[in-house]
Structure 1
């Protein structure tokens, strides 16, 4: 095991117990989603998580958060229930706002009908696996195959499982009896105590020693009853090379498919629009040079011209300009070459800009920030218009 804390700190949640029942603010399912997103966005591995598989995606509510992670390029949504997948397949399509405020990189989303127990070609090269409130819905024969498929065949860098904590059920039964099957949901095949869940996790890392795990939870217990733990318990499995540890064994380069596995069935696939910058590196730097020179002139007009109303020349040091361009990787040699190519005068390590007879609005030195800001504001308004399409069902299973 290893110690893990949420990157953004503990959740600020409220659990309230009254005479008639218990409430969670925010709802426990939202807490689970936020926990999984924080884990995916952990700076230690975020840039290495390009392909994510969510098993048990159901109505695809979690996807609406996951799709906003810019570094993810492929999302596979997998569930055994084909009619449910077809019913909700259009919910993964891009919104109008996605065509205005493009992603910075590509995103392909596929909805697949299949079992978490079956290996399939589509699962190769997966970086992260998420399975929220899934394992308690499967029978023993499927449960026993999950570790070999996830940790043996897929070998991801990161895995997140969540499942109900049955230790918490003593609080629920104070208000209402459990269902006839003895669980919180009529499709649950089991509900584990914290010790049972830990035992299952330990069995996985014993068989697959390239992984370490940490146990967390969401849905705080009421005050003075902390001994029952959280409503929902989470396990975070991380491959040792992402914990700066040596792998116990080499990864299997081309793991074999289980001959008994049923191939996955593609239900829906969609590519999100994204901004593809086709400029060369020099063209990108030159655009930024123009912006910085124009900004310098504007600032000079506000300050120096008050002292010298007849000033018609502006000088900006090469050193100052380079410092402002560090984020695009500009070097002095490239900068000087660009200035020469574009007939910009350089004297004594300074860029010399002559005042022009035309206004800023007509100037070749443009500043696209104003346009960018307007587009962002329009995108926010469109997102607000689409909010109803993206809102979640308020009563998923606890």
Structure 2
């Protein structure tokens, strides 16, 4: 991940915001993440920007003068060739809503540093000009921040353009990309800060991951009163239920059956049978507190895995 800004003082003040949090060490990512903070201009085609997959410029373009704005499309679409580009900017049509509560700033805009604020028609024209000059991209325009009821005609607070490279949509590229585009950087980028986030590389085999989860599900079953067979003094959990809880790991009925056999688990009529004595050291039979039962019921098996890398 790379961040770029022309304001070195602002970047330096907030460099620590890119560092990992305590939570990033407690619950580590599943893949590497490297972050670079660069001081430089978005108008400059610097080599550091090559091989970028996604460009995000939120509320950026309205802060630059025309000479810089005119170079941004080439830098992104003609030099970097990313797969996805997201650009947002204020919708000037919406400003009439703001003026009901307070006047705009002396420059006529929402922010003292804004050089312009485009209407929806102006932003659309700018986006269409980009797709005409760079036909390998398609564009969709939408907005964020709904207008009050009855004022929907002014559009959204901010307008957003989503550009997608056609090959990402399984469409042929209109023009071939230059494998080695020429950099045009008046002032070289300077790296102010770099950081690598901690990540955990799970080296277990698929079967080992599945079996670990199966063991957890079997142990959890011994805390469920409705799984207890009082006549036989055993717990019974359906194999199909276990499978639902491990499918996200790549488990199939065949793999699960083989793992249960290899680990000498007793099976009857589609159930795994767990002897009460197997877990007697962890809790007293099936007599446990109501609080524990409620906690177990809350930990339902939905097969939904949190994605902390997003």
**TM-score normalized with structure 2 length:** 0.77
The answer on 1:267 being equivalent to 2:192 is yes
Deviation at 1:127, TM superposition (A): 2.2
Equivalent residue, structure 2, for 1:328? 249
Per the alignment, do residues 280 and 222 of structure 1 end up closer, same or farther by CA in structure 2, a change over 3 Å counting?
Answer: closer
Per the alignment, do residues 265 and 284 of structure 1 end up closer, same or farther by CA in structure 2, a change over 3 Å counting?
Answer: same
Deviation at 1:340, TM superposition (A): 4.8
Per the alignment, do residues 338 and 265 of structure 1 end up closer, same or farther by CA in structure 2, a change over 3 Å counting?
Answer: same
Q: Which runs of 5+ in 1 are unaligned?
A: 1-74, 364-368, 374-398
Give distance in 1, aligned partners of 2:174 and 2:163: 17
2:212 is matched with which residue: 281, 287, 291?
Answer: 287
Q: What's the secondary structure of 1:167's corresponding residue?
A: helix
2:124 is matched with which residue: 198, 201, 209?
Answer: 198
Deviation at 1:77, TM superposition (A): 1.5
Give distance in 2, aligned partners of 1:278 and 1:188: 51
Give distance in 2, aligned partners of 1:184 and 1:352: 68
Per the alignment, do residues 106 and 251 of structure 1 end up closer, same or farther by CA in structure 2, a change over 3 Å counting?
Answer: farther
Per the alignment, do residues 336 and 232 of structure 1 end up closer, same or farther by CA in structure 2, a change over 3 Å counting?
Answer: closer
Q: Which runs of 5+ in 2 are unaligned?
A: 285-294, 300-310
Give distance in 1, aligned partners of 2:278 and 2:125: 78
Deviation at 1:350, TM superposition (A): 6.2
Per the alignment, do residues 223 and 319 of structure 1 end up closer, same or farther by CA in structure 2, a change over 3 Å counting?
Answer: closer
2:83 is matched with which residue: 146, 157, 178?
Answer: 157
Per the alignment, do residues 360 and 255 of structure 1 end up closer, same or farther by CA in structure 2, a change over 3 Å counting?
Answer: farther
Contact 1:164 1:233 in 2 (8 A): yes
Contact 1:210 1:248 in 2 (8 A): yes
Per the alignment, do residues 228 and 357 of structure 1 end up closer, same or farther by CA in structure 2, a change over 3 Å counting?
Answer: closer
Per the alignment, do residues 172 and 346 of structure 1 end up closer, same or farther by CA in structure 2, a change over 3 Å counting?
Answer: closer
Q: What's the secondary structure of 2:20's corresponding residue?
A: coil
Equivalent residue, structure 2, for 1:51? none
Give distance in 2, aligned partners of 1:119 and 1:288: 49
Per the alignment, do residues 358 and 317 of structure 1 end up closer, same or farther by CA in structure 2, a change over 3 Å counting?
Answer: closer
Equivalent residue, structure 1, for 2:23? 97
Equivalent residue, structure 1, for 2:308? none
Give distance in 1, aligned partners of 2:283 and 2:68: 68
Bigger drift between 352-361 and 312-321 goes to: 312-321
Deviation at 1:129, TM superposition (A): 1.4
Equivalent residue, structure 2, for 1:53? none
Equivalent residue, structure 2, for 1:233? 159
Q: What's the secondary structure of 2:229's corresponding residue?
A: helix
Bigger drift between 114-123 and 337-346 goes to: 337-346
Equivalent residue, structure 1, for 2:287? none
Per the alignment, do residues 89 and 141 of structure 1 end up closer, same or farther by CA in structure 2, a change over 3 Å counting?
Answer: same
After superposition, where does 1:213-224 map in structure 2 within 5 Å? 213-224=139-150
Give distance in 2, aligned partners of 1:189 and 1:271: 36
Equivalent residue, structure 2, for 1:128? 54
Per the alignment, do residues 214 and 356 of structure 1 end up closer, same or farther by CA in structure 2, a change over 3 Å counting?
Answer: same
After superposition, where does 1:156-195 map in structure 2 within 5 Å? 156-170=82-96, 172=98, 175-176=102-103, 178-179=105-106, 181-195=107-121
Per the alignment, do residues 312 and 210 of structure 1 end up closer, same or farther by CA in structure 2, a change over 3 Å counting?
Answer: same
Give distance in 2, aligned partners of 1:302 and 1:265: 63
Equivalent residue, structure 2, for 1:84? 10
Give distance in 1, aligned partners of 2:236 and 2:216: 15
CA deviations over 1:168-207 (Å, ceiling 9, x no partner): 445555643642x444433322222222211111100001
CA deviations over 1:362-381 (Å, ceiling 9, x no partner): 89xxxxx98xx8xxxxxxxx
